[in-house]
Structure 1
């Protein structure tokens, strides 16, 4: 077909899908509603190649994440273990501190330059076979005899793009909330999408960067658990040598509280907590940052503001007939085994591309393996 394959969403899943389609020799239009690629993969700090602090996913586990490990190797990126040497701290609700002398080794790895280095390396792999359009939102999909008509909206206005096939990497809740389909998808399927949490969408992360890792000098690992807050879990976020020193924490305070107190007040509260935990040197970082994903409308819906008590059980994507020959769903929430993780984003992208290419082979050869003379 003369129409391109359209990939919706330039997060890790969409970028990997686009690279795989490019390798298969297909033309791809990759559209992203945000003004940047990466989705929930975001690293703050210096430019490419410099140490950056992850404001989204920070870790992968080689034994459990073979796709991430393989991709890191293919892209010739370096990684290093999460620093865990030294004592960890526990902060009680009354502010009392308890020290755990045994370190907590979690076996996790961090990518040099931040997880965003994955995104940048995948972007660098794209050739002119893939056209990337940032700031471009998908509004609707209409099934046609020769493909899918997509209504897209960008800075220049709204237009219709015909696609041979489509891979949609939107989180299920955003798909159900924002995307109109003709013919409509079954109501029970849309309800199931509404009920599927977007992983980490209700969370916020705070990071502070220092001239030196003073907590290490005090025999601390930089890890702390707190029942007082606003951060509930804190880790060392320095580079592998400790030359660029950093701490980051998951803000446990609810999204409503965070929105009510405001960004600057929440950052000051987080710094004050680091002082309580690690001493007065924590009060003067070189810089600090806060990313509240619950306030990012391209990530979270109001339903994501409700806290999760456990890791959701994600399901493999289901596409209804008659859409099944034209549309595939990807994104980490579409991975039954690895949902919520970087591994899930890659797993779902690979499955979507495999299904799409298999369908194209059938279209080219016919249902019985013979050349389809109608195309």
Structure 2
């Protein structure tokens, strides 16, 4: 039996790459270090909630994101425009709230997915079931280039083992690649430094969500959109479902990862304090009812070692400039790079995750068609 193509990383980019490869008739193994799939896509709700709150990315823009829009359509998912009807709030450094009668509109309009962005992950996972072998809870320690394969050293709950791959699609962020993966032969120091210098998008960010019995802010003429110069939430939006029946607000936490978590300074305020401060802020802006949510959640991505490298815990001054990246010539026939940080056109966005995966798969398949005999027999622990 021929060796599989191994996709490293079970986020949106990795799942999409595995889907495209499977559709092209390839044998695929997908490896994910987390126990769950999705990477930075994470949606949470109570057991009886059909609407889930996005603790990672929330939006896509159909007018600018044709790949995401196409995938939403292919998977049969429902999307709806971000709620912006009503007044916006601007909170000054002193906590004074200023009402702006009309909320600023995004152009083009941003959309959310009914049931949470995780529906993209679940939809792709369903399409891969029985076709692609998926290993979660499995870390890749090293990649070793062999004459006719790439050898992966893996670690799971049962111990260390190896897997041979015909080719590899690597979708984890560049910084984590440089920090956590050993390459044999080693990559040039300049190339490794370039990866270390590439920020992982939103890896230092935290999000706060609060769910309420009803959207009381809408009843008071607020859209749920607010900007704050005081915090802890720097930017707030309505996170309710399309009908408004499941009422929710979410905000991006403006405080630094060091202040939140204590990483690098010793003691941070912690998630309980973030929650208390966020609810106090929502009360200042939207009234007393904001202090009595049904439930809340904080997702601090800076605390996730499978998302944030140590250098990702510094605030970003601007949106990074991403590019497709390069691999050393010796690896050019065996390894392709994907992931949102590998997209020059849409880096940092869901569109970038899909775009880079599609390009990597296209180039990999083209190489396979040009080079016969790229497979070798498997040995040691193999796929079922």
Q: TM-score, normalised by structure 2?
A: 0.94
Deviation (angstroms), 1:49: 8.1
- 1:166 corresponds to which of 145, 164, 168: 168
Gaps of 5+ in 2: 262-267, 376-384
Q: Residues 149 and 100 from structure 1, CA distance in 2 versus in 1: closer, same or farther, beyond 3 angstroms?
A: same
1:33 paired with 2:67, answer: no
Q: How does 1:275-294 map to 2 (within 5 A)?
A: 275-294=283-302
Q: 1:26·1:129 contact (CA, 8 Å) conserved in 2?
A: no
User: Equivalents in 1 of 2:48, 2:6: separation in Å?
Assistant: 28
Is the Cα contact below 8 Å between 1:201 and 1:293 reproduced in 2? yes
Which of 313, 322, 325 matches 2:330?
Answer: 322
In the other structure, the counterpart of 1:242 is 244
CA distance in 2, matches of 1:330, 1:6: 13
CA distance in structure 1 between the partners assigned to 2:129 and 2:207 by the alignment:
34
Pick one of 343, 348, 360 that aligns with 1:340.
348
1:271 correspondence with 2:273:
no
Aligned residue number for residue 318 of structure 2: 310
Q: Retained in 2: the 8 A contact 1:77–1:112?
A: yes
1:369 is aligned to: none
SS in structure 2 at match of 1:344: helix
Residues 1:171 and 1:47: Cα distance change in structure 2 (over 3 Å): farther
Distance 2:252 2:111 in 1: 18
CA contact (8 A) 2:324 2:337 kept: no
1:321 and 1:160 map into 2 onto residues whose CA distance is: 24
Distance in 1, matches of 2:193 and 2:121, equals: 32
**CA shift at 1:302, angstroms?**
1.5
Work out whether residues 8 and 32 of structure 1, in 8 Å CA contact, stay in contact via their aligned partners in 2: yes
1:128 positional shift: 2.4
- For 1:128 and 1:243, the matched residues in 2 are separated by 37
Deviations 1:64-101 (A, max 9, x none): 10000000000010000000000000001111111111
Deviation at 1:47, TM superposition (A): 5.5
Equivalent position of 1:100 in the other structure: 100
For 2:317 and 2:121, locate their aligned partners in 1 and report how far apart those are by CA, in whole Å: 30
Deviation (angstroms), 1:300: 0.3
Instruction: Determine the structure 1 residue equivalent to 2:83.
Output: 83
Does residue 179 of the first structure (1) align with residue 181 of the second (2)? yes
- CA–CA separation in structure 2 for the residues paired with 1:254 and 1:49: 31
Give the secondary structure class of the aligned counterpart of 1:303.
helix
Shift of residue 316, structure 1, vs aligned partner: 1.2
The equivalent of 2:223 in structure 1 is: 221
CA contact (8 A) 1:141 1:179 kept: yes
TM-score, scaled relative to structure 1: 0.96
Aligned partner of 2:378 in structure 1 is: none
1:342 Cα offset (Å): 0.1
Equivalent residue number for residue 19 of structure 1: 19
Q: How does 1:117-266 map to 2 (within 5 A)?
A: 117-259=119-261, 260-266=268-274
Secondary structure at 2:372's aligned position in 1?
helix
- Kindly indicate whether the alpha-carbon contact (under 8 Å) linking 1:337 and 1:344 is maintained by their aligned counterparts in 2: yes
Name the SS for the 1:124 alignment partner. helix
In the TM superposition, residue 127 of structure 1 has moved relative to its aligned partner by: 3.5
Distance between the aligned counterparts of 1:279 and 1:361, measured in 2? 63
d(CA) in 2 for partners of 1:321, 1:49:
50
In structure 2, C-alpha distance between the alignment counterparts of 1:179 and 1:302, rounded to whole Å: 15
4+ runs deviating over 2 angstroms: 46-49
Q: Distance in 2 between matches of 1:48 and 1:20?
A: 33
Give how far 1:26 is off.
1.1
Q: Which moved more, 1:271-280 or 1:233-242?
A: 271-280
8 Å contact kept, 1:225–1:233: yes
